[in-house]
A and B are shown apart, each in its own frame.
Chain A
Amino acid sequence: MSRKLELIVLAIFLIFAAQFVYMSSTTDAEYGGADGEAEGVIYEITGGTYEPIAEPIWEPPSGEIESLLFGLQAAIGAGIIGYFLGYYKAKGRYENDIGYKDKSKPSDRQSL
């Protein structure tokens, strides 16, 4: 299997990382969220008069806990992706390479 695509993606990632390291060491950019910046623009346009019509029903009590929940979100997703890609890979191996396909062919409804 050719690894060309992986190398291209790695190169894009490295350019991105190098750019980040360079920018964060030469400028004092804060790296806050773009959402927060948009909030600033809203205040600027409305002259600071706008009151949000609703507040979040619950906010993470600290930045650490917010990171935890974001990390949890990524972990759940990554787990699901890995599980099913592995499931498909093994299924394909059994059916095509080892040749279980003809011996037993359960309907997909049962196999899930």
Chain B
Amino acid sequence: MHIMEGFLPTPWWQLWFVVSIPVIAFGIYKMNKLINEKREVLPLLAVAGAFIFVLSSLKLPSVVGSCSHPTGTGVAAIMFGPAITAVLGTIVLIYQAIFLAHGGLTTLGANVFSMGILGPVVAYLVYKAGMKANLNFYLVVFLATALGDWATYVTTSVQLALAYPAGDVLTFAGFMSSFVKFAGVFAVTQVPLAIMEGAVSALLFKYVVNVKSDILVEMNVLEDSVVRKLRGNPA
């Protein structure tokens, strides 16, 4: 999903930095507050960050004959909310920009916005809505992370279409024409990968619930009654 180094022309790459930096700053503030208040979440934060690290390194082949990778940000978004996820996503994106020439430093703002902010926001909202509707927890995690992943790539298509509208002038028709082309590359490739990400995320959540459910309850991710049901002891 990363927009490559140098591939956003001038007004756009600055603009995405302007949008992303306040969110990252707020995320750092929230993260510090959380760590100071609840020291015991630190390992879970590391797990969520590491999950993004693993998934975004897996370049998987997809149906249409191109490769792309999942984002892994949905898990962090469900556990810690989108702002803290933006910080974790930024760390991964900087690693990939510097060591792998994957993404880039000028396009970092745009990439943070799609992978660190908008995708996680979608995952977070879907999760909250799904839990309110009383659906099965793992199904909700699957839907939230898969849709969040997919939303990231749709956002990338929007960002590129805004920067490269057909006919060089930003009109709605030009934007749509370019958007369809970019979405044809990114959004279509991503569908099977989003499904995989959703499945793996649900699995990770199962293990976290098994070994450390009390922390999820404490952070208001899950309700106590749901945890008891999932663990199968209605005590």
Contacts and interface: CB of A to CB of B under 8 A. Distances in A.
Interface residues of B, number: 76
Nearest to B189: A34
Interface in B47-73: 47, 49-59, 61-68
Contact of A85 (B53, B164, B168, B207): B207
Contacts of A23: 61, 63, 65
A87 B43 contact: yes
Contact of B105 (A16, A57, A66): A57
Interface string A10-36: 001100100110011001011111110
A92 B209 CA distance: 12
Interface string B172-213: 000000100110011001101001100110111011101110
A46 B163 CA distance: 11
Query: Which residue of B54, B55, B106 has the most chain A CB atoms within 10 A of its CB atom?
Result: B54
A78 to B, nearest CB: 5
A56 B138 contact: no
Contact of A74 (B54, B196, B210, B232): B54
Interface stretch (B94-102, B119-127, B219-227): B94-102
Contact of B53 (A5, A57, A73): A73
Contacts of A48: none
B199 A38 contact: no
